Structure formats: C-alpha cells, structure tokens
Amino acid sequence: MAPIGALAVTASAGSPGLWQELLAYVLPAALRDTLVLLVGVALLAGGIGTGTAWLVTAYEFPGRRIADWALLLPLAVPTYIVAFAYLDLLHPIGPVQTAIRALLGIESPRDFRLPDIRSMTGCTILLGFVLYPYVYLTTRAIFLMQSANLMDAARTLGVGRWSMFIRVGLPLARPAIAVGLSLALLEALNDIGAAEFLGVRTLTVSIYTTWVTRSDLPGAAQISLALVTLALALLAIERYARRQRRYANDAQQPRPAVPRRLRGLGAAGALAACAVSVGIGFLIPFVHLANQARMRIGFAGLSPAVVSETLSTVTLALIATAITVGAGLVVAYAAHVSRGRTASRLRGAASIGYAVPGTVLAIGVLPIVTGIEALTDDAARRLLGASTGLFMIGSGSALVYAYGARFLALAAGALEAGFSRISPSLDAAARTLGEGAGGRLWRIHLPLVRPAAATAALLVFVDVMKELPATLILRPLGVETLATHLYGEAVRGTYEDAAIAALLIVVAGLMPVVMLARVSRARAADVDSLL
C-alpha cells in the first residue's frame, strides 16, 4: 500500500494551477483515448474469447484438440512486442506491402499504401487479439463444467444450438466473462509500449511523457491518480457484474454436455475462427521475429549487448522472484493460519499492486526509495563522513521493490491455492504434538506446497522479464534489459536490431503458457473420459 500513499503525497506537491492545466489540456484527450481503447478491447477480446471457448467446448471438429490449447499462445507475447512486430511487417516498405505491390505491378510505395496501423483502430485490434486468452481461459472452464441436463432441457423446449449459446450458455458464463475481461482491461491499462508505438495517447503514455519529457513528477503523479481511479472502477464493475451470480451443479455427479460434431463448411468455419485468432495473436508475430532474428544473427552474429542485456534481465528477474515468492509465502501462510476477516482483508491489500499499472507503481515507489536514500545519506555523513548516494536506485533495489509490489498477488495467489489443498487435520495433528506455527510451516507445509511455490516462481519470473513500464522508469543508469532494449530500438525505428531481444522474451513467456496448456489438456481429458 505504501506506493499508493506516496503517490497521493507526490501529487499534492504540485502547483495549485497544475490540476487546471491537466484538466484543460492533458486529461480530456488521454481519458477519451483510454476509454475508447478499453471499450474496443473489451468488445473484441470478449467476443473472440467467449466465441472460441464455446466452439472448442460445444462442438467437435478437425483440429479442435490443437485449438483447445493453441488459443492460449497469445498470452506468451507481450502487447508491446506484438505492436513492434506488426509495425515492421506492415510498414510501407515492409514485407507485406512490398509483396502486395509486386503482385499488382506497382513500384513506388507512394502509389499504393495500406491504411496506417498507427491508429486507434490498429491498437484496438492488436490488443484485442493478444488479450482475448484471459476471457477464453475463464469462460472455457465454465463451459466445460456446464451440465448436459440444462442443455437437454433447453432442447426439449425447442431451443437451437445458437439460441442455446445466447440464452443458456452465455448467461451462466457471465461471471467468468467479467473476470476475464477485467484481467484483459487491466493489462490494456498497463500497456505503454504498444499504445506509444501505435500513436494512441492513453493515460499511461501521458504519465510517462509528463515525467520523462517535461520532468514534471507531480503532474505525472496527478495523472496517475486518475489512472488508479479508472483501474479501481474496472474492478468495481467486475464485482458488480458478478453480484449475486452463483452457479452449481446438483449433488449428483453432473453429466457433461456432449460436443456436437461439425462437418463440411461448419467444421471449416470453426477451425478457421480458431486459426485466425491464434495466427494474428501469436503465430504471425512469432514467425516474423524468429525470421528476423535468424537473419540478424546470420548477418552480424549475436550482439554482445544482447548477451549482457539477457544477463541483466535474468539477474533482476531471479532476485525479484526470490523476494516476491518469499513475501508471498508470508502473506499466504499468515492468511492460512489466521483464517480471520482481518487476515483476508490484509491479503487483499497486499495484492492491490497487481491492479495498478507499472508506470503508476513506479512513480509511487520513487519517493519512498528517495526518502530512504536521503535519510541514510544524512546519517552516513554525520556518523561516517561519507555519502551513500542513490544506493537503492543505483543498485536496482528500487526496481526490485516495484516488481515485488506489482507481482506479489501472483505469488500469494499461487501459494494460497497450494495451502488450500492441505488438510486441516495435518495442522491439528502437529499442534497436538506441540509444534508451533513456524515448525508446521517448515516441516509440513513447505514440502507440500513446493509445486505451488515452483508455479509462483515461474509466473513471477516471466512477468518480471516482460515488465516494461516500471523497468523504463526505475532501472539503474546504464542498465538495459531485453524489454527496454526493444523499446529503444522500436522508438528509433531500427526494428531488425531488436528482433533477438523480442524473440527471447516471447520464448520465456511460452514457459507458463505451456504449463497452463498442460493443465488445460488434463482437465479436458477428464471431461472426455466422462463422455
């Protein structure tokens, strides 16, 4: 919670007329673009995620089993990398437009150009195709759990397959759709690279430019408060959408719905819908990045800068992962032992950083670390006659703090799920043998939650590697990570030099997606065995 409080203090330090200037010239355009982008992403990601989830659960068609897990692949690609790849692909002298002009016999790019992808429409489409898996994942789980009895009852009342989706499947999936959409929109709010590359001035982009370009930290903090308000509003809307919505099967073993087999044009259309979603969101940018990286290595070899940036990225990610998972263990175990309302509320407060965009969190972290540095430096000068300088920002400690505050929710959530699987009888037996809370954690719980801890570490590690906004703002002077290197090259327009860094980030992002796909296939296999 400290960065949020520090953010409010920093915002209050601005001049009295700053709010009026922001309200007149900055916030209206930034807020309008942000809201338009969020509405567009919600419609596109919600439609693609819900539609594909229904296709792979309600129908059987050639390629369905592959599509079932392949639809998760866009989760491996950060939004700014997708924008980076398509900017290179769809550039007026890029491979796509060059090939089209060659087919039409046109030589000059001035005589034929596709619509510019640097637009609100282009940004909305790209973010929608990258973020739809959040909706697909939650909605598909609900569709798999729906009982066949409901579908049979609907059919006896004369409801067709399309009407069954609209009148039965969709209403029952509303809570899951709300959760998936909230996650997708929070990711869209956190984005800075894709929006800036594509010329959309969102609140996040405005925060970064206000601080870096105008050197106006209080102004950036005030815009950040508006963004925090919008993020909390999204969470409130998600809770409202799920209000009093409960669904459960009866006490008997539910009979899963049997997928309807599609043939001919129906099967081809279902497969095409899934293939287009995976192709635009993952396959096309991945293949392009792999090809560009291959060409770059073949032409100039592997740059020493990429090696050092990979080392910096992995080192920061490992340190942040160890600290974040340790903190998540404390939070999850405290909530597990206490089991009270206060512990539950504190658990929620500890996870609020995940709902706050990285740019906002970095601005909130900055006054905390600079305050610590000032106090430490003053004490060192008085006692030792030496200056400690900017030891937290210079060493990367400030960046690690921001990573921990942002991704603590991931670690605590995964570990909490692990603790929930441990039978209370084990704690009771240990207490009767005189074992305290610390001993139970060390001798009983830690060995049992080791898989959950490994999952938490993997999720945090990969998300730290992909994090761009906080890294741009808080990284030590002279330190580049793969994400910041890619951002710098894209801003300069030298796309080929960043392909290797982008590909490394995508490959790292594939690890949790593969793990998630394995779990997804296991659950699908359980359902198929019941059929």
State pLDDT tens for residues 109-119.
778 888 888 89
Residues 279, 362 within the same domain: no
Structure tokens at 152: 């049979």
| Least confident window among 41-45, 224-228, 321-325 | 224-228
Residues 271, 401 within the same domain: no
Choose one of 460, 476, 493: the last residue of a domain: 493
Q: What pLDDT does residue 218 have?
A: 83
Residue 18: pLDDT band (50, 70, 90) is low
Residue 1 lies in a domain: no
Residue 386 lies in a domain: yes
Residue 260 lies in a domain: no
Is the Cβ–Cβ distance between 501 and 387 less than 8 Å? no
What is the mean predicted confidence (pLDDT) over 334-341?
77
| Least confident window among 9-13, 160-164, 323-327 | 160-164
Residue 251: pLDDT band (50, 70, 90) is very low
Residues 316, 285 within the same domain: no
CATH of the domain at 406: 1.10.3720.10
Transcribe 123-148 into DSSP letters.
HHHHHHHHHHHHHHHHHHHHHHH-BH
Residue 220 lies in a domain: yes
Closest-CA residue to 464 (of 349, 315, 359): 315
| Least confident window among 88-97, 145-154, 302-311, 421-430 | 145-154
Is the pLDDT at 277 greater than 90, yes or no? yes
Residue 347 lies in a domain: yes
| Least confident window among 300-314, 361-375, 513-527 | 513-527
Is the pLDDT at 522 greater than 90, yes or no? no
Q: What pLDDT does residue 197 have?
A: 87
Residue 75 lies in a domain: yes
Is the pLDDT at 288 greater than 80, yes or no? yes
d(CA 14, CA 224): 13
Q: Spell 174-209 as b/e; 16+ CB within 10 A means b.
A: ebbbbbbbbbbbbbbbbbbbbbbbbebbbbbbbbbb
Structure tokens at 231: 């993020």
Count of Cβ atoms closer than 10 Å to residue 10 Cβ: 21
14 - beta bridge partners? none
Q: Residues 382-441: pLDDT tens digits?
A: 888 888 888 888 888 999 999 999 999 888 888 887 777 777 777 778 778 777 777 777
Is the Cβ–Cβ distance between 59 and 259 less than 8 Å? yes
Is the Cβ–Cβ distance between 204 and 190 less than 8 Å? yes
Is the Cβ–Cβ distance between 131 and 514 less than 8 Å? no
Is the pLDDT at 283 greater than 90, yes or no? yes
Structure tokens at 57: 């659960």
Residues 284, 145 within the same domain: yes
Closest-CA residue to 101 (of 91, 113, 89): 113
Q: Going by C-beta distance under 8 Å and a sequence separation of 6 or more, which residues neighbour residue 327?
A: 404, 408, 411, 412
Residues 147, 176 within the same domain: yes
Q: What pLDDT does residue 531 have?
A: 41
d(CA 77, CA 130): 7
Count of Cβ atoms closer than 10 Å to residue 212 Cβ: 12
Q: What pLDDT does residue 232 have?
A: 80
Count of Cβ atoms closer than 10 Å to residue 249 Cβ: 13
Residues 270, 412 within the same domain: no
Q: What pLDDT does residue 530 have?
A: 39
Is the pLDDT at 529 greater than 50, yes or no? no
Residues 361, 398 within the same domain: yes
Residues 472, 324 within the same domain: yes
Residues 274, 315 within the same domain: no
Closest-CA residue to 328 (of 405, 229, 428, 239): 405
Residues 291, 309 within the same domain: no
Closest-CA residue to 188 (of 436, 407, 444, 469): 469
Residues 221, 322 within the same domain: no
Choose one of 274, 301, 328: the last residue of a domain: 301
Q: What pLDDT does residue 49 have?
A: 93
As a whole number, the mean pLDDT across the chain is 82
Q: Spell 39-73 as b/e; 16+ CB within 10 A means b.
A: ebbbebbbebbbbbbbbbbbbbbebbeebbbbbbb
Residue 33 lies in a domain: yes
What is the mean predicted confidence (pLDDT) over 355-363?
85
Of all residues in the chain, the percent with pLDDT exceeding 70 is 89
Q: Which residue range(s) make up the domain with 378?
A: 302-493
Class of residue 480 by CB neighbours under 10 A (exposed 0-12, middle 13-18, buried 19+) = buried
Is the pLDDT at 252 greater than 80, yes or no? no
Is the Cβ–Cβ distance between 396 and 471 less than 8 Å? no
The number of angstroms, rounded, from the C-alpha of 365 to the middle of its chain's C-alpha atoms is 20
Q: What pLDDT does residue 527 have?
A: 42
Is the Cβ–Cβ distance between 124 and 86 less than 8 Å? no
Per the listing, tokens 């700053």 go with 18
What is the mean predicted confidence (pLDDT) over 166-181?
78
Residue 327 lies in a domain: yes
Rounded to 5 degrees, what are φ and ψ at 404?
-60, -45
d(CA 370, CA 12): 17
Per the listing, tokens 């006692």 go with 383
What is the mean predicted confidence (pLDDT) over 136-149?
75
Is the pLDDT at 172 greater than 80, yes or no? no
Per the listing, tokens 């998972």 go with 325
Residues 156, 241 within the same domain: yes
Residue 146: pLDDT band (50, 70, 90) is low
What is the mean predicted confidence (pLDDT) over 290-318?
86
Residue bearing the bigger pLDDT, 351 or 253: 351
Q: What pLDDT does residue 16 have?
A: 63
| Structural domain count of the chain | 2
Per the listing, tokens 């095409």 go with 272
